[in-house]
Amino acid sequence: MRRFLRENSLSLFFLVIFLAALVGQALTGHSEYNHEQVAHGEATISLGRYVTSSSFGRAVMENWQSEYLQFMLFMLATVWLLQRGSPESKPPGKEGREDEREQKIGRHAYSDSPLWARTGGVRTAIYSNSLLIVMSIIFFGSWFAQSLTGWTDYNQQQMEHHEATVSWLGYVGTSSFWESTFQNWQSEFLAVGSFAVLAVFLRQRGSPESKPVGARHEATGEEG
Amino acid sequence: LGIRVSAMRAMLVIWSGLIVTGLVYYSIVGLTHH
């Protein structure tokens, strides 16, 4: 049990703080929602009703989609693009998808490599992009879920204000949908871009996300 | 080694389950106008 906790501590730690933050969002979001309801002379709702509402779902989904977009784009961009000196970048000259030997696929795979890395053909082609494929599915899935919950939430507000409701396609064309989308995207791109540059010059001793403390600023793709 | 692999797979199942549940659940919430 102790070994299980230690060997999975990174994902377990994030699982615990994810759930804690989600509970925090639910409690504070519920309080905020009911304040608004009272201010507008509308009925308040229970916590259970709030967490199963489009209002809460929209808030959760719009943050999810931007995180997955960030990871997806970063993973894809670092195949071809470089930042000299960054631990997250490949060194100049290594741009691109690399050959089968470097990627240990097909006849260059080890005997205990994943099966789909060994077989070659379509299966290896799929497995070679599987992380990107799944991250994209989660990104588009959560963006779609944001659009559905946002649509319902938007129409509920329209009805409260005695204004016309819109179709899903109509909602996807509103500035409301795009504002909440860009609001989340800009912060992700800022964080990723600045991290790539800050990590050229700054260090965190012991972290694989950083270069070793004594590494030269020019050293690229060297992880701690 | 078998136990370690299954622990890693358990983590995969937990995280995938969370994500899929969230996506599907809130898609349905939005679609059914809750």
Residue-wise DSSP of A160-180: HTT-----HHHHHTSHHHHHH
Specify the pLDDT at position B19: 97
User: Shortest Cα distance from A66 to chain B (angstroms)?
Assistant: 14
Q: Which residues in chain A have Cβ-Cβ distances shorter than 8 Å to B4? A: 7
Pull the structure tokens for residue A183: 């609001």
Specify the pLDDT at position A221: 80
**CA dist., res. B34 & res. B29, Å (int):** 5
Specify the pLDDT at position A224: 55
Place of tokens 């944001």: A146
> CA-nearest residue of chain A to B7?
A4
**CA dist., res. A13 & res. B11, Å (int):** 12
Pull the structure tokens for residue B23: 């996506």
User: Shortest Cα distance from A145 to chain B (angstroms)?
Assistant: 5
Specify the pLDDT at position A171: 98
Specify the pLDDT at position B5: 75
Specify the pLDDT at position A44: 97
pLDDT tens for each residue of A122-164: 999 999 999 999 999 999 999 999 999 999 999 999 999 999 9
Pull the structure tokens for residue A102: 């470097």
Give, in order, the Cα–Cα distances in Å from A13 to each of A16, A18, A49: 5, 8, 29
Please answer yes or no on whether A61 and B19 come within 8 Å at the CB atom. no
How long is chain B? Answer: 34
Pull the structure tokens for residue A142: 């959560």
Of B4, B23, B30, the CB nearest to A141: B23
Which residue type, as a one-letter code, is found at position A100?
Answer: E
pLDDT tens for each residue of A24-41: 999 999 999 999 999 989
Q: State the average pLDDT over residues A4-8.
A: 93
Cβ atoms of residues A66 and A185 within 8 Å: yes
pLDDT tens for each residue of A62-93: 999 999 999 999 999 999 999 999 999 999 99
Cβ atoms of residues A192 and A78 within 8 Å: no
Model ipTM value: 0.89
Return residues 2-31 of B near A (CB < 8 Å): 4, 7-8, 11, 14-15, 19, 22-23, 25-27, 29-31
